[in-house]
Amino acid sequence: MAKKVSLKDIANKVGVSTALVSYVLNGLEKEKRVGPEVVKKIRAAAKELNYKPNQIARSLRKGSTNTIGLIVADIANPFFGQLARIIEDESIRNGYTVIFGSSDENCKKSQSLVDTFLNRQVDGFIIVPTEGSQEQIASLIEKEVPLVLIDRYLPEVKSNFVVLDNFSAVYNSVEHLLENGYKRVGMVAYQNSLVHMEERTKGYMQAMKDAERENEICITELPYHFDRKEMDRVIDDIYKNKKCDAVVFATNALALAGLYAIRNLQIQVPDELALVGFDGNEAFDFFNPPLTFIQQPMVKLGHESVRILIEQMKGKKELQNLKLDSQLVVRGSC
């Protein structure tokens, strides 16, 4: 194995002290008044000898590791996978490396990831908070660890967040269905207390009330780890009992499961049941007709979360709360 090149090796080659080499390679040449010719020789020698700095030692000296801890609900979910990639690319562009983890909507697993990332000395966090994670987020804030919540926020905890305006997103989609002649619009959502799901449900209910369709409100809730057969039963019940002539799915995972159920039951879309999903998903294109869906501004969600986090890591104290607008992408399912 080749011997690792040290500062002393560079110093011996140039004929200067190791302290002088350290100043130059750590960008302190102006502060330490090192002459330009010496700086040029030291950098050339470092390149020639293929010097690789000890990043751990450098991080300890700087008090920074230039790493960000990213915790999402499920990296296998196309929405979170795409969001993670956007955050990673934007972080790299700003000189940061991202470490990923999936909480699987489990508070204990989320806490374990937080502890692991803290031990890795990440400079800050971007977190999709789980149900019941108020205490762990509040603890990070109390320790003055820079963080940004993304996709959802915690009303009880004052923090930075970048989220979708979920209320308006669903309200507008229901309004679109009603304006196009559908009267019994239903919703399939997750059974949890997370604020983004509550706001989506509230948006649905308000749109129905404003259209004087309160008697037609029909919300079905499923657990996060639901079985596909449960979705089959839900769609079968909605269709056979004529509960709805249109359905809004509150997430992309629910929409995908719903599409499979509709195909299994041979329900004609949109003639027998109209549909609106959440988030774009390539799988939606394989169903006929293609699914109308609520599109989140993914790039802006990712870029804004990175921007706010970097500003916090550089000392900005003011909290930033962003709610972004969605777009209804209308296709053949309604």
pLDDT digits (tens, 9 = 90+) for 105-153: 999 999 999 999 998 889 999 999 999 999 999 999 999 999 999 999 9
Q: What is the pLDDT of residue 62?
A: 52
| Whether pLDDT at 333 is above 70 | yes
Strands 274-278 and 292-295: parallel
Q: Is 114 within 8 Å of 143 (Cβ atoms)?
A: no
Q: What is the mean pLDDT of the chain?
A: 91
pLDDT above 60 (res 2): no
* pLDDT tens digit sequence for 265-294: 999 999 999 999 998 777 787 888 989 999
Burial of residue 71, with CB atoms counted within 10 A of its CB: 0-12 exposed, 13-18 middle, 19 or more buried: buried
For 166-295, CATH gives 3.40.50.2300
pLDDT at 246 over 80: yes
Question: 97-102 and 67-72 as β-strands: parallel, antiparallel, unpaired?
Answer: parallel
Q: Between these two residues, 184 and 25, which has the higher pLDDT value?
A: 184
Instruction: Break the chain into its structural domains and give their ranges.
Output: 7-53, 65-164+298-324, 166-295
pLDDT grade, residue 176 (50/70/90)? very high
Q: What CATH number does domain 65-164+298-324 carry, 3.40.50.2300, 3.40.50.300, 3.40.50.12780, 1.10.287.130?
A: 3.40.50.2300
Quote the CA–CA distance of 250 and 204 in Å, as a whole number. Answer: 10
Enter the tokens of residue 84: 């993670």
Sheet holding 292-295, edge to edge: 218-222, 185-190, 246-249, 274-278, 292-295, 327-329
pLDDT band at 7 (very low <50, low <70, confident <90, very high): confident
Task: Convert the pLDDT of each residue in 185-227 to its tens digit.
Answer: 999 999 988 999 999 999 999 999 999 999 999 999 999 889 8
User: Would you state the pLDDT for residue 60?
Assistant: 45
The full DSSP string for 184-200 is -EEEEEESS--HHHHHH
H/E element holding 286?
Answer: none
Same fold for the domain at 65-164+298-324 and the one at 166-295?
A: yes
CA-based Rg of the chain, rounded to a whole angstrom? 26
Q: How far lies 116's CA from each of 31, 70, 127, 262, in Å? A: 37, 12, 14, 42
Check: CB of residue 292 under 8 Å from CB of residue 333: yes
Q: Which numeric CATH code is attached to 7-53? A: 1.10.260
